[in-house]
């Protein structure tokens, strides 16, 4: 009874995270929940532990110096891009954010299985990003295929907003980029409008990534492959913090 009351109070204070169920309050944790708090504890952080790393990611978690690049992928999904990025950028640290337990574990497994130690994963709501990183703690940010929430009444749930971009901008270091991909033309236009009026500088934009010069350096994510097979265009934006 006491645990239920505690969880209820915590839910009232952090509604967004708990709409997916707080890890410590799940009545019947599955194998992936158990892995998050057990086997992968040193590399995966639930929504209670993750904020404790704010301002300490380089020094305490990755055991590196203050100049080592620290990048972020928001919404890792099954982790194919997450693992690829960690492998191709061994001199950089990588944090991933994912809410669902199974893809969260799948994501961190990929770099660990090939002996990489430069990646960590957290379970958290990206809209509260300022609770995870201090000002100018981050370098590059990658946001691939977030839920577009296509219906008008649902737009309030979209990740990209003026407020969110201000948060990201403040926690990034100068010279860092934000990379955004979507299959939704509507969400693309929405996002581009907000990037244009933000403090970022637009570096490149395309409504058809795979028919542009940018395709040469592009890694096709799992969602991207699905959308391409359906004949959908991939929309892409890259901006820079001066």
Active site residues: 147
- Residue 167: C-alpha distances to residues 92, 95, 179, 220 (Å): 22, 17, 15, 28
Interatomic CA distance for residues 49 and 52, integer angstroms? 6
By the 8 A CB rule, do 14 and 131 touch? no
Interatomic CA distance for residues 82 and 119, integer angstroms? 8
By the 8 A CB rule, do 92 and 70 touch? yes
- Residue 25 tokens, joined: 């309050």
The helices-and-strands tally (H runs, E runs) of the chain is 8, 8
Order of strands across the sheet with 235-240?
44-45, 119-122, 93-97, 70-74, 141-144, 177-182, 235-240, 201-206
Q: Which one, of 161, 130, 160, lies nearest residue 143 by Cα?
A: 160
């Amino acid at each position: 009874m006491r645990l239920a009351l505690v969880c209820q109070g915590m839910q009232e204070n952090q509604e967004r995270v708990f709409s997916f169920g707080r890890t410590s309050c799940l009545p019947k944790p599955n194998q992936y929940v158990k892995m998050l708090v057990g086997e992968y504890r040193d590399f995966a952080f639930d929504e209670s532990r993750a904020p404790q790393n704010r301002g300490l990611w380089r020094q305490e978690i990755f055991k590196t110096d203050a100049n080592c690049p620290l990048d972020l992928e928001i919404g890792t999904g099954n982790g194919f891009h997450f693992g690829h990025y960690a492998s191709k950028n061994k001199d950089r640290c990588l944090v991933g954010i994912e809410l669902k337990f199974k893809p969260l574990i799948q994501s961190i497994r990929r770099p660990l299985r090939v002996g990489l130690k430069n990646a960590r994963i957290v379970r958290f709501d990206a809209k509260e990003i300022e609770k995870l990183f201090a000002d100018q703690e981050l370098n590059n940010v990658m946001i691939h295929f977030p839920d577009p929430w296509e219906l008008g009444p649902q737009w309030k749930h979209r990740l990209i907003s003026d407020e969110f971009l201000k948060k990201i901008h403040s926690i990034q270091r100068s010279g860092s980029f934000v990379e955004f991909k979507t299959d939704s033309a509507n969400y693309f236009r929405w996002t581009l409008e907000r990037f244009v009026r933000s403090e970022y500088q637009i570096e490149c934009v395309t409504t058809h990534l795979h028919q542009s010069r940018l395709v040469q350096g592009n890694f096709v994510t799992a969602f991207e492959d699905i959308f391409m097979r359906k004949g959908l265009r991939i929309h892409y934006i890259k901006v820079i913090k001066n």
